[in-house]
Structure 1
Amino acid sequence: MMVDYMVKVTECEPLPGFRLRVACSDGSRGVFDMSKYVTRGMFREVNTPERFNMVRLVFGVPTWPGDIDIAPERVRSDMVAA
């Protein structure tokens, strides 16, 4: 799949298991699994359900307090259609 660097996340809802239910600007919808990220690097800051559930969209990018974010093109390329 070719990566679309212009895609934005338009909806984002935290789910159990460090997953996000998302919709993207290209019309796609799905679930993005963050569980493999929350044990590494800056994402360790959001490795509790309470912190993970603080996700908000900032200019189409899933973002947590402390300026922790995940690229929307990563979300789009790795999500599973729902």
Structure 2
Amino acid sequence: MSVDYGVKVVECEPLPDYRLKVKCSDGTSGVFDMSSYMDRGVYRQIRSPKVFNDVRLIFGVPTWLGDIDIAAERVRSDMTVA
């Protein structure tokens, strides 16, 4: 699968267990599971469910307090399509 670096996340809703319900600019939607990231690097800072649930979209990228983000192309390539 090729990676589309122009894709953006246009809708993002936090779900239990560190998952994000997303819709991308290419029209696809699904669930992106971030649980495997929660014990790595900067993502440790958003392990609290309250902090994780405060996700925002900034320029089409899921972002948390402290400029912690996950690339839109990663979300798109690794999400489970609904």
TM-score normalised according to structure 2 size: 0.99
Report percent identity of matched pairs.
Answer: 68
Q: Deviations over 1:22-81 (max 9, x none)?
A: 000000000000000011000000011111001000000000000000000000000001
Matched, 1:69 2:69: yes
Superposition misfits of 4+ residues, deviation over 3 angstroms: none
Alignment partner, residue 34 of structure 1:
34
- Match of residue 11 from structure 1: 11
Q: Match for residue 24 of structure 1? A: 24
CA–CA distance in structure 2, aligned partners of residues 35 and 46 of structure 1: 11
Supply the distance in 1 between the matched residues of 2:74 and 2:22 (Cα, whole angstroms): 12
| Equivalent position of 1:81 in the other structure | 81
Which runs of 5 or more residues in structure 1 are unaligned? none
Mind listing any 5+ residue stretches in structure 2 that lack a counterpart? none
Q: Which AA in structure 1 matches 2:11?
A: E
TM-score (norm 1): 0.99
